[in-house]
Amino acid sequence: MNTKKVVIFSIVAFILSLGTLGAVLYFTVFNNHQNTEKNIKTYIYDAGEFSTNIGNNNNYFKGNITIETTDKNLPKKLAESNILLRDLVLRTIISQDPSEMVKTEGVEKFKMQLIKELSRLMNTESITNIYFTNYIVQ
């Protein structure tokens, strides 16, 4: 009976040791990975105010758009390409479905589409987010 207790306690101690080791590794290794992502420097470009009709209806969009990037030089390039940028954003807005633009999922889809189109225009993968500092759809 004593040998069985020793074996059981040994197995339990071994499992607890593995659990503790796993927890320590998780909080040290994976936490460093998350902190690295948070320390990435981003840069902002204020694309300004946009207002246009949406689609074929009498709906209207008015909003301010800000572009976030990890490329330090991209805000300057965006400013130099402001006419192309504004044209692309306006064409993208006009092509949207107004009923989708007022839904949370629709706004996220619109953001992703803008990121994709702007990334293609600027030939970059460094655009990380689009922010609407003003967003009205009527």
Report pLDDT digits (tens) over 97-126. 998 889 999 999 999 999 999 999 999 999
Average of pLDDT values for 48-71? Answer: 91
In order, the DSSP letters of the chain are -HHHHHHHHHHHHHHHHHHHHHHHHIIIIIHHHHHHHHT---EEEEEEEEEEEETTTTEEEEEEEEEEES-TTHHHHHHHTHHHHHHHHHHHHHTS-HHHHTSHHHHHHHHHHHHHHHHHHHT-S-EEEEEEEEEEE-
* Residue 84 scores a pLDDT above 80: yes
| Predicted local distance difference test score (pLDDT) of residue 26 | 80
| pTM summary value | 0.70
Confidence of residue 12 (pLDDT cuts 50, 70, 90): confident
CA distance linking residue 22 with residue 127, whole number of Å = 36
> Picking from 5-14, 106-115, 123-132, which range would have the lowest pLDDT averaged per residue?
5-14
- The pLDDT value recorded for residue 36 is 54
